[in-house]
Structure 1
Amino acid sequence: MTKQTISVQLSTTKKQKPQTDQLEFGRIFTDHMFIMDYSVERGWHDPKIVPYQPIEMDPAAMVYHYGQSVFEGLKAYLSKEGKVLLFRPKKNIERLNQSNNRLCIPQVDPDTVLEGLKTLIQIDKEWIPTAEGTSLYIRPFIISTEPFLGVAPSKMYKLLIILSPVGSYYKEGIHPVKIAVESEFVRAVAGGTGTAKTAGNYAASLKAQEVAESLGFSQVLWLDGVERKYIEEVGSMNIFFKINDEIVTPALNGSILEGITRNSVIYLLRQWGYSVIEKKISIEELFAAYEAGQLEEAFGTGTAAVISPIGELMWKEHHLVINNGQTGKIAKQLYETITGIQKGAIQDSFDWTIEVDSIRL
């Protein structure tokens, strides 16, 4: 694929930047965004960076009616030396194309997307917060834009990348959260779109999340959509359990999203000498381990929260208080190691980080 030149239009009016202690997750956006369009005739074309602005689309744009959309999430960090670092961005773009394949969206050129992403971040570098637990969240996404009400893959698409300075995803931060095991609603099934990062998966999760929050829980633990017994994900994160000196995580089964943080955690744990088992694990098996005193830790992993310790699970009438409701040693070590690598405070011996090079505008 021929390398495309990215045009740049800088904003003439800069936004006021928020105070670090006022940062929430995903409510404030930077001065610029990246856009690239697709048509059958031209393929992906016209990559550009423009001032952050609304996009105008026909009311019949297919994304509004049939939900043909995919997205990714990753972060940029500023090291103490002033280097802008990205954590495994090529894996995100690889997964974006996997989602594209499932949703019948044309593949994007990874080099063009990475160059656009890096250029955008360099332009809005001053938006990267530096306080503990903060970062610049990056949201690439693709939507179908053809004005057509027939049920078929769109022939027109728009790829955008927007940036948002963020604080912790959960107000609890690295402190343990309370999770309710979901027994009524289903997130995804094998053969569906659970392995793709697509908007519909998250829309399907909202009702259970709403109910859980009304009961005082931070998130839900999803069970499989067929037998309603096997553990899959926690909220929008992958999940890990330390059971009797082994680390257990649900095996990828066609309905679980393959997380980049999940991949990193498994690699680190094995490097540290832990036995990591990827397998089907039922909620009954987990409860039996808890009753036997063998469930020592539980935590979720994902881009937004990185590591989210679980202090309590509610399943039916059972309240499983894990590690006395405290952050476990492994969760803490993983969080400190991954965030240390992400911010350049710990040596990256795995080649996971990419430095955003300076550009000339």
Structure 2
Amino acid sequence: MLFIGDDWAEDHHDVELVDDEGQVMARRRLPEGIEGIAGLHALVADHLPEDWAELEPEQVQGLVKVGIETDRGPWVAALVAAGYEVFAINPLSVARYRQRHSTSGAKSDAADAHLLAEIIRVDRAHHRPLAGDSEEAEAIKLVARTHQSLIWERSRHVLRLRSALREFFPAALEAFADLDAPDALELLALAPEPDRARQLTRRRITAALRRANRRNVDARVNEIQQILGAEQLHRSTPVQSAYAAIVAGQAAIVATLNAQIDQMAAVVDAHFGQHPDAEIYTSQPGLGVVLAARVLGEFGDDPHRYTDAKARKNYAGTAPITKASGKKKIVLARYARNRRLGDALQQWAFCSLRGSSGARVYYQQLRARGTGHQAALRQLANRLVGILHGCLKTHTTYDEHTAWSHHLTSAA
């Protein structure tokens, strides 16, 4: 076999080739792009067996194994397309291996390339090869992650907007409970400071509420005018003017993010609807299109990636970990996990309480035993992941009785 360690940077790759015995066969620094990947292929061809051209693609894949600290990008896609078996090594694991090989703390790109080659030569059984997900699943992952990132970014800007209002215009926080709502953003853009807010006409406020499809508009208008018109503490004119500019800017950013989130949600829906497993995912209680797309994108659709439900739960981070030493044994939550997948599963568990009587009974049983809310949701998510794995394995949609028969019977 031929083992390749690839320490990548933005504009170049340091690669090292070693054989089965750990003998260094070649070291190169290759540029990013077509020229670099062509150079790597030529380097590999020079060190493969003479009859490698007659081998089947599966045999070539078994001969060349690559270790790299990323699982995405055109370079990685080119490695997979060439038939190499690629291992995406977690940078944290590489750092631990580095400490094992050298206690001095020395580090270089060439040394890291050697380290990556040694990891897959000696310990590749403890690392997962890059999943063979379909192009559809990869596209869903990209758009679902972007949609989630936009939502997280909106939350950050809403918090900044709230912080600015708290410093000089707290009445706005009382008047507008949801700062990312269209009517709140429109009115804050028109009146980002107290003096202009008191001058807002009833007609302006009514128009903003109607555009946001609010109910009880007249009562809501009276409430807003009363809050904004009340006497309140003031900052100096220059400070208030500066804060007003900050509020107007943040309101504009949040409004733009709202529009982009809606557009990206439509893209997520379009991609997810084309996937053959879409019906299985959306049949699960609590999974809408966007949330189902996030779960599918993070799990992938490689049928050979998860050997059983336990493997899928471990990857999801919902399965607990056990620390045992002597007579001491502690079971803890697994915090080293895919954060995006963990967030989606926690939301799924919460939403399933309304859509599934079995999930609700299971959650209530956990709470009755003294389990906290978040811990109970995590255990419920663990159960839901197992149910999803069974549905995907058998290519069947969700069935409430099959999934929760034991818990529903015991509750009765």
Normalising by structure 1, we get a TM-score of 0.24
Normalising by structure 2, we get a TM-score of 0.22
Higher helix share: 2
Higher strand share: 1
